Amino acid sequence: MKDGSVFKKIINKEIPASIVYQDKRVTAFEDIKPKAPIHILIVPNIFIASSNDINKKNKNILAHMFYIAINIAKEKKISEEGYKIIINCNKNGGQEINYLHMHLLGGKKINSLF
């Protein structure tokens, strides 16, 4: 898995990225290799390596990440046609970057495993 410091640098604006939303708790930016017309990553501003590191103390961040993803979907006008929200975890889940992130994908039919 790749080092997650790249996302920390995006949050801190130390490297360029297309940030679409930022508040005290989360940052959302365009995926550098989009898999759909809309492909945005939502990350917590505090470092959390993966969903395995969600605990009683930090679990509320997930609700906020979801809320922001859904709001971005509405802003980008993909909510009526629909979208997919994905969190990959570790090797079998296909997580490439060691920093918890949520994918918001839309603007076309997103293939499903089910």
Q: Which residues are known to be catalytic?
A: 101
d(CA 80, CA 51): 28
Question: Can you list the alpha helix ranges (DSSP code H) found in the chain?
Answer: 5-11, 60-75, 90-93
Residues 47 to 86 in contact with ligand AMP, rule: CB under 6 A? none
Minimum distance of ligand AMP from residue 99's CB (angstroms): 8
What is the contact mask toward ligand AMP in residues 11 to 30, using x (rule: CB under 6 A)? ------x-----------x-
d(CA 102, CA 83): 13
Q: Which residues bind ligand AMP (CB under 6 A)?
A: 6, 17, 29, 31-33, 41, 88, 94-97
